[in-house]
Structure 1
Amino acid sequence: MDRQEGCKGCSESVQVSPEKLQRLVEIATRGRETASEEVYRRRIGQCEQCPGLQYGTTCQYCGCLVEVKTRLLESACPYPFAPKWS
């Protein structure tokens, strides 16, 4: 049995194109309460500066796509040491 080296995140299959990401945002936010543009921009800015951001799209602490998570009003930052937003 062959063993793959590295984590699954190192494969191309986890890379999300901007088009696919936009479609995922549309699906995830449909019928749900979303954050205001101001709140979204503040949250995404904090995520972009976070050491837990992987591949420019994914939170290492919860596995969520930050573009989706930051848009949902009820979301909270999962950063384990001191959440960056709530």
Structure 2
Amino acid sequence: MADNRCKGCHDDYRVSDEQITRVLSSPMFSSDRCVPDGEYDARLRACFSCPKLQGDTTCTLCGCIVQIAAKLKDKRCPYPGQDRWSITVSAS
């Protein structure tokens, strides 16, 4: 069976909700760099239903913290052969 863990993380490493909230409150996440809330929610729904999600934070395809990457306009879903974010946003 394939190992579905992020290659850079150890089993005992977890990113807390508080850490994610702190990052998302930084100036880097000004409104001009972020997708609207509805699109952000749709992206997160796509990530949380994806078989490539490790735990509740990490994409095993690119290693990103999905709650952070999904917020940024210039990020794309790395799922091979399809952009799960655009499919979800289109269906909303």
TM-score after normalising by structure 1: 0.79
CA RMSD after TM alignment: 2.1
1:25 counterpart residue number: 24
Structure with more relative contact order (C-alpha pairs < 8 Å, separation 6 or more): 2
Q: What code does the residue aligned with 1:25 have?
A: L
| Paired letter, 1:30 | F
- Identical-residue share of aligned pairs (%): 31
Alpha-carbon deviation of 1:56? Answer: 0.7
Larger-gyration structure (1/2) = 1
Cα deviation for residue 28 of structure 1 reads 7.4
User: 5 Å matches for 1:7-86?
Assistant: 9-13=9-13, 15-27=14-26, 29-31=28-30, 33-86=33-86
- Aligned structure 1 segments of 4 or more residues deviating by more than 6 angstroms: none
- Does the 8 Å CA contact 2:29/2:72 hold for their aligned counterparts? no
SS at match of 2:85: coil
* 5+ residue gaps, structure 1: 1-5
Gaps of 5+ in 2: 87-92
TM-score by length of 2: 0.74
Q: How many angstroms apart in 2 are the aligned matches of 1:20 and 1:41? A: 19
Equivalence for 1:3 = none
C-alpha displacement at 1:82, in angstroms? 1.5
How many residue pairs get matched?
Answer: 80
* Aligned-partner Cα distance in 1 for 2:8–2:85: 28
